[in-house]
Amino acid sequence: MASLPADPKLSAAVSDGALLLAGEFTVWTLGQLPPEAGAAYRLELSGLTRIDTAAAWYLVGRERQGAQLDGLTGAQARLLDTVRQALPQPDAETAAPAGWRRMLEQTGRRMAAALLFLREIAEYLGRFLAALARGIRHPGDFRFTSLVYHCQETGLRAVPIVALMSFLIGIVLAFQGAVQLRQFGAEVFVIDLIAISILRELGILLTAIIVAGRTASALTASIGSMKMNEEIDAMRTLGLDPDMVLILPRVLALIITLPILGLIANIAGLVGGALMSWIELGISPSMFRYRLLADTSVDHVIVGLSKAPVFALIIGVIGCHAGMKVGKDAESLGAETSRAVVNAIFAVIVADALFSIFFSEVGL
């Protein structure tokens, strides 16, 4: 009883087209069959002390190929019967199209999936707007506590990282600008360089990218885990509208906080730039402030911050949509979360490019 199958013995020999097997024929010894065993048309099995389903599976397979099985005991034959009955019947498989047709089909499927994704994003945008309209018409349905909570999560908690990032970008711009502009003796224009690039583009774009990474993933994870847990279905049966309860406060919190974060990023970037200009170029803070106010139009700030609500909407809708797409397994939660972040960052950059074209066309 205490013997372990660690070292099972099978002896196999082929003579005159007959395969003689003796010892333990199990899943562990199945691989020890000699290569010429497949050609034997008669299998002599009286020497077998033990067989398992793997051996039975092999023997039944050989029997189907027309080989003759000799010398099985009653119990062994019964095991073979069991396996014979359980042998799976393969379903007829649909032949996969080959070569260029498969490539064409895959391309078509990807295109259809991309279009479907855009359609669903549009649907979620519509659902958010409908929920917003309902919230305005029936303020009683609106979850104010939830909105405040999400403002804190997406806004307040992101202030340190956004401010630090923007401060460092200001320093980098001042430093790089100084090196380049010094060649022309135009160091003082470094202020314009910093002001315009941060206020118009970098402040809000980098904030949006950080928030996309931070918040889009959090949205997908929180809504997705609720979806996995069937909490969203439970909400529906209780007469709660997930659009009102989940999507509206989250997206609205983003729309409120992203412009504020953008403004903080602008200020931190200018402070960083001013500090570096002072150290590197000897431009005093008062000089920096004077040139900033005299030369830089407030239009740049308006252009920059006007993009923020749009970016916020993009991040929020993509994050919520991905959360709702999570299936019942944890794997899809992870996949959707990373997809949400990538899509949100990509969409923010595309939107920024479109804004650039738009603003240059209208001449702002």
Partner 1 sequence: MSGNIIEVRGLRTQFGRHVVHDGLDLDLRQGEILGVVGGSGTGKSVLLRTIVGLNRPTAGTVRVFGQDVGALAGPAREALERRWGVMFQGGALFSSLTVRENVEVPLRAVPGLAPEARRGLAELKVSMAGLPWSANDKYPSDLSGGMRKRAGLARALALDPEILFLDEPTAGLDPIGADAFDRLIVELRDALDLSVFLVTHDLDTLHACCDRIAVLAENKVLVSGTMAEMLRVDHPWVHEYFHGPRARAAMATGRAKE
Element (H or E) spanning 24, and its range? strand 18-25
Of 208-216, 217-225, 247-255, 324-332, which segment contacts partner 1 by CB under 8 A? 324-332
The residue (of 207 and 220) whose beta carbon lies closer to partner 1 is 220
The residue (of 67 and 281) whose beta carbon lies closer to partner 1 is 67
The residue (of 28 and 175) whose beta carbon lies closer to partner 1 is 28
Residue 74 in the binding site for partner 1 (CB under 8 A): no
Of 50-58, 105-113, 176-184, 215-223, which segment contacts partner 1 by CB under 8 A? 50-58
Of 16, 31, 96, 183, the one binding partner 1 by CB under 8 A? 31
The residue (of 36 and 329) whose beta carbon lies closer to partner 1 is 329
The residue (of 83 and 151) whose beta carbon lies closer to partner 1 is 83
Of 14, 18, 22, 30, the one binding partner 1 by CB under 8 A? 30
Residue 57 in the binding site for partner 1 (CB under 8 A): yes
Residue 195 · residue 293 · CB < 8 Å: no
**Least distance between partner 1 and beta carbon 100 (Å):** 25
Of 34, 38, 61, 71, the one binding partner 1 by CB under 8 A? 61
Measured in whole angstroms, the distance separating CA 92 from the mean position of its chain's CA atoms is 35
Of 122, 329, 354, 358, the one binding partner 1 by CB under 8 A? 329
Number of residues that bind partner 1 (CB under 8 A): 33
Q: Write the DSSP assignment of 219-286 as a string of letters.
A: HHHHHHHHHHTTHHHHHHHTT--HIIIIIHHHHHHHHHHHHHHHHHHHHHHHHHHHHHHHHHH---HH
What phi and psi, each to the nearest 5 degrees, are found at residue 95? -65, 130
Report the candidate in 1, 58, 54 with the shortest Cα–Cα distance to residue 28: 54
Of 51-59, 108-116, 166-174, 201-209, which segment contacts partner 1 by CB under 8 A? 51-59
SS3 content of the chain, % helix, strand, coil (to 5): 75, 5, 20
**Least distance between partner 1 and beta carbon 116 (Å):** 20
Residue 214 · residue 158 · CB < 8 Å: yes
**Least distance between partner 1 and beta carbon 39 (Å):** 16
Residue 65 in the binding site for partner 1 (CB under 8 A): no
Q: Which amino acid is at 73?
A: T
Residue 211 · residue 262 · CB < 8 Å: no
Torsion of CA 24, 26, 32, 35, to 10 degrees: 110
- For residues 79-98, which are near partner 1 according to CB under 8 A? 79, 82-83, 86-91
Task: Describe the strand order of the beta sheet including 68-70 as a list of residue ranges.
Answer: 10-15, 18-25, 42-51, 68-70
Report the candidate in 364, 5, 344 with the shortest Cα–Cα distance to residue 154: 344
Of 25-33, 250-258, 266-274, 290-298, which segment contacts partner 1 by CB under 8 A? 25-33
Of 12, 19, 58, 253, the one binding partner 1 by CB under 8 A? 58
The residue (of 2 and 298) whose beta carbon lies closer to partner 1 is 2
Residue 334 · residue 228 · CB < 8 Å: no
The residue (of 54 and 349) whose beta carbon lies closer to partner 1 is 54
Measured in whole angstroms, the distance separating CA 29 from the mean position of its chain's CA atoms is 44
CA-to-CA distance for 114 and 342, rounded, in angstroms?
Answer: 14
> Could you list the residues that contact partner 1 (CB under 8 A)?
1-2, 4-6, 26-28, 30-32, 52-54, 57-58, 61, 78-79, 82-83, 86-91, 327-332
